[in-house]
Amino acid sequence: MSRSFGQRLWSSLQERGPLCVGIDPSPALLAAWGLPDTPEGLERFSRTVVEAVGDLVAVVKPQSAFFERHGSRGIAVLETVLAELRRRGTVVVLDAKRGDIGSTTAAYADAYLDRSSPLSADAVTVTPYLGFGSLQPMIDKAAEHDAGLFVLARTSNPEGAGVQLAVAADGRTVGGTILDEVAALNRGAAPLGSLGVVLGATLTGLAADVAGLNGPVLAPGVGAQGADPAGLRRTFGTAATVVPSVSRGLLARGPGVADLREGARRLIDECAEALS
């Protein structure tokens, strides 16, 4: 039988340590690496990151937008990146933050979660702000293909608080209702549910909110956004399975493979110590 996403992620975290590395080939990073802002530069950048960390870190997270901006040739690069990461046995989370309703949501699910799709990943980031129920086609497709979702709950951008901390009629915040919905769907899964949440690592005081989640917490913001490994346990407590995510803070060390690999090893050790 196939293992669920939660089982695969748990195994990868145990084997490789708690770190997710983003592949974010922004124009600024391409320029810093001396690469052109073209599909060729995009491919060179992405292949370098995969070579450096693809067999080292537990999770790699390509940011779809930076590939999409190059059109069909950029999407072709993304397809090769996803295939190479799968070949290396790396857990892949595609950072696409998709969210819609009905047949459109179902089409996104087919694109990113159906194993026959060239854009399929182990998990995809999704937004629930058209109502948590709008995610049902993705939830169903993830279960069908032993894939996962990371649902945006509390993000670190200042604008997010106006929506995510709004209080519903039952007294819960909107972000809190999302955490409750995910926890309910993960109930009884072992060792870890396949539905996770995105919570910014720069936030504070989330330990009580995630204690019963029984799913992974993807925590972007380590490095360039100001979060540091030492603060992870203060933010998320001891009950959550936290997957710290770093992008610019590590990628700025490129373009040398050895430098990227050394930086990733250091971050794995620091995050493991902070979360132990």
Q: Which of the residues are catalytic?
A: 97
- DSSP-assigned letters across all residues of 229-273: GGGHHHHHTTTSEEEEEESHHHHTTTT-HHHHHHHHHHHHHHHHH
Task: Of 258, 215, 273, give the one whose Cα is nearest residue 239.
Answer: 215
Cis preceding linkage at 255, omega within 30: yes
The whole-angstrom distance between residue 58's C-alpha and the CA centroid of its chain comes to 11
User: 89: number of CA atoms within 13 Å, CB side?
Assistant: 8
22 neighbors 223 (Cβ within 8 angstroms)? no
